[in-house]
Structure 1
Amino acid sequence: MTIYRTPDARFAALPDWPYAPKYLEIDGGLRVHHVDEGAADAQPVLMLHGEPTWAYLYRKMIGPAVDAGFRVLAPDLIGFGRSDKPLDAGAYSYAQQVAWMRQWIEELDLKNMILACQDWGSLIGLRLVAEMPDRFAGVALSNGGLPEGQPAPRAFAIWRAFSRYSPVFPVGRIVNAGAKRQLTPEEIAAYDAPFPTRASKVAARIFPSFVPLGDNVAVPDQKRAWAALERFDKPFLCCFANSDPITRGGDALFIERVPGAHGMAHRALHGGHFIQENDPDGFVAAIRDVAAAGISR
């Protein structure tokens, strides 16, 4: 397997990103990059990014969450950020991404985690919660889901076609378009940083085709995950954006079907798909509420 590692120089002097890189090698020799901030004995918060972003997406949440008393772990998925990027599209699948992140969690022996997730961070993170519920203390979910074969919404179908067929794939501009504010040129460049070559974007471009909408190989795995979530009674809080055309209304399924969502103070955050760029304080407040609910239950 041919692996691409983005040169370290690409990540020098990024705005609002003072974090020293940490790496863990998982089975197969793949190197996973992650941020690990806060006291080692504090409750871990696992911040999982989606596509085509990387851990930089959480830069406005890491410090406030640490200040609130949490230990924050923000990994880059394989194929993104500073993590290794297999260049063969066949190396990637939804199930493989879940397996890679499960290995990373088990190697670090993370327990009592609160999952904070959005976009593909939700698709992967919620599968992890379903597979290893004893390692999780709760979930704060924004702008994500766990589709199990539903028809693709029009907005997503357009995005999937663009990611597959567009001759250019400008990651930073894509994130800028999905945030309800104008990112600075330096922030846009930071989102572009992991992907200096066309080949390095293979995961970012292929991920939309893995979303289990319609007839998809992952649907049986999704149904098993939903069955597990329908038994998950730890705090589960939905904090979706008020202006995201892709995931609008998706919180209703979780509020209805996940026992841990009952009685939680679900709320709308202010912004678009990449809510971390618009309402980071609201997302951190949701994490704090999940932790508090876990203590009171």
Structure 2
Amino acid sequence: MPTSILRTPDAAFADLPGYAFAPHYLSDLPGYLGLRLHYLDEGPEDAPIWLCLHGQPSWSYLYRKMIPLLVAAGQRVIAPDLYGFGKSDKPESEGSYSFDFHREALLRFMERLEMRGVTLVCQDWGGLLGLTLPLAAPERFSRLLVMNTALGTGDIPLGEGFLAWRAYANAHPDLDVAGLFKRSCSQLSEVEAAAYVAPFPDASFQAGSRAFPNLVPDQPDAPGAELSRRARVWWQNEWTGQTLMAVGQRDPVLGEGAMASLRSVIRGCPPPLLLPDAGHFVQEDAGEQVARAALSAFGLVPAGS
């Protein structure tokens, strides 16, 4: 367990636009005792689960546009904040964070909530981590909604776009999160952009976000790389569930080319939903459109819709 843990004051999250969801917390995950994890849990308890995983430097706020549509269709949406993000606790040392630290927490979280029949919804680090989860528990997953992400296999050179992002992030330890979202999602209001800053009252709260760019496996022996290569084989040969891929085409790092590569290793993945006006944060730019498309693709559109 990390020895120095920060917790963003609840007041930082007051009156966030579009985020009137009840908070849920767990502090008893095996291996993470006392480290509080926040998650959203919306919809009927016995409904099919959509597990929505965010990346860097976002949090469950990213899914606020999709959640109401999914719940209205009778689905249950569970959206955790990774440790270091959102309303979850934040170890202060960057060394506390690792590929396995996050992945194991997600596995323990799924076990704790006894998830079955899950639609895995992932983007950015939500995919780097989430796409490896079925290796440990394939029986839990039924569908995949994947957006602008990758598998960190370590045997494919990282693109120039990502290398530039990593260099930028390393040079700006107090990342301008609001500015980043405004540049990527021009339609965001000032208060919405500020909501992405809420978890980080100052730079000491950003250790988890600072760690992520340097955790992307960039060599075959990097932590998480061998696991991701095994996941690649699993998705190629073992996956039998339904899939929808949505691609924000304005993403300079994980756009159409990167997603075409990922599609080639997901068995039975149909042609993607291409979103010419969406960038990296697809959930912000086209969340409602993607939610409706997924419900339709998976045959879950309510009667009369």
Q: Give the TM-score category using the shorter length.
A: over 0.9
| 1:104-115 → structure 2 map (5 Å cutoff) | 104-115=109-120
Greater percentage in helix:
1
Question: Which consecutive unaligned segments of at least 5 residues does structure 1 have?
Answer: none
Is the Cα–Cα contact under 8 Å of residues 33 and 76 in structure 1 kept in the other structure?
A: yes
- Seen in structure 2, the aligned counterparts of structure 1 residues 274 and 21 have a Cα distance that, compared at 3 Å, is same
Is the Cα–Cα contact under 8 Å of residues 69 and 292 in structure 2 kept in the other structure?
A: no
1:136 aligns with 2:141: yes
Give the alignment's Cα RMSD to 1 decimal.
1.5
Aligned to 1:258: 266
| 1:148-297 → structure 2 map (5 Å cutoff) | 148-149=153-154, 150-179=156-185, 181-214=186-219, 216-230=222-236, 231-248=238-255, 249-261=257-269, 264-269=270-275, 270-292=277-299
Q: Distance in 2 between matches of 1:50 and 1:289?
A: 25
Q: What is the Cα deviation at residue 290 of structure 1?
A: 4.8
Q: Deviations over 1:103-135 (max 9, x none)?
A: 111000011010111111111111112321210
Q: What is the Cα deviation at residue 167 of structure 1?
A: 4.9
- Corresponding residue SS for 1:236: strand
- Larger CA deviation: 164-173 vs 121-130: 164-173
1:42 aligns with 2:47: yes
Give me the TM-score of the superposition, normalised by structure 1: 0.93
1:122 aligns with 2:124: no
Q: What is the Cα deviation at residue 253 of structure 1?
A: 2.7
| 1:63-78 → structure 2 map (5 Å cutoff) | 63-78=68-83
- Corresponding residue SS for 1:20: coil
State the number of aligned residues: 290
State percent identity of aligned pairs: 38
Q: Give 4+ residue runs of structure 1 displaced > 6 Å after superposition.
A: none
Is the Cα–Cα contact under 8 Å of residues 128 and 151 in structure 2 kept in the other structure?
A: yes
Give me the TM-score of the superposition, normalised by structure 2: 0.91
Is the Cα–Cα contact under 8 Å of residues 62 and 284 in structure 2 kept in the other structure?
A: yes
Aligned to 1:19: 21
Query: What is the identity, as a one-letter code, of the residue corresponding to 1:255?
Result: R
Is the Cα–Cα contact under 8 Å of residues 130 and 229 in structure 1 kept in the other structure?
A: no
Q: Deviations over 1:34-55 (max 9, x none)?
A: 1111111111111111100000
